[in-house]
Amino acid sequence: MTASLQPRLALLIAAAALGVAGCAEQNGDLAQWMEQQKREVKPSVQPLSPPKTFDPEPYAALDLVEPFSNQKLTVALRQEARQTSSVLASELNRRKEPLEDYPLDSMAMVGSVSKQGRPHALLRVDRLLYQVAVGDHIGQNFGRITAITETEVRLREIVQDAAGEWIERPMTLQLQEGKR
């Protein structure tokens, strides 16, 4: 090595030794402070409560009749139909007509005609025309036509109210002009 490099190298080694000594002194202070904090701070963790025991209950309603079954609804409708005061009794004991397979909102009155002095309405259902008269049944809610005018078909339907009672509800089908 050259003579000019030796003093520089010695100076560099001395500076590194002083830096390490200073860091060790600071690390010692830091380690001492950490130990002091560990001794002074006491954690206050409350113990967990033991878990509650689970007592399973046997399902007792398995043998009961399901409240939404079709069988139960059919039995209820038949029982109600046997009552003489029921508005539904006469409807359940008659033969269904073809237009009772369609909901009212799928029907459109497209015209009216008069045959032998009796008014008839022309209803379009599934692109087919049907002729109906007063007394005919239409719709899925036991609808029965009560009156026909040039512009509307009036009928009554039998539906259940909020209390589950069967009631009559008036409905109308208006003439649909210009619809094809």
Query: Which tokens go with 133?
Result: 């008269």
Q: Is residue 108 part of a domain?
A: yes
Q: Supply the CATH number for residue 101's domain.
A: 2.30.30.830
Q: Is residue 115 part of a domain?
A: yes
Q: Is residue 49 part of a domain?
A: no
Question: How do residues 54-95 score in pLDDT, each as one tens digit?
Answer: 999 888 887 777 777 777 777 777 776 666 456 677 777 788
What distance, in Å, lies between the first and last C-alpha atoms of the chain? 109
Q: Which domain holds residue 157?
A: 96-174
Residue showing tokens 């009796």: 118
In angstroms, rounded to a whole number, what is the distance separating the alpha carbons of residues 58 and 55?
10
Question: How do residues 94-153 score in pLDDT, each as one tens digit?
Answer: 889 999 999 999 999 999 999 999 999 999 999 899 999 999 999 999 999 999 999 999
Domain count for the chain, please give it. Answer: 1
Residue showing tokens 């029921």: 86
**Residue 107 CB burial class (10 angstroms; 0-12, 13-18, ≥19):** buried
Q: Is residue 14 part of a domain?
A: no
pTM for this model (two decimals): 0.53
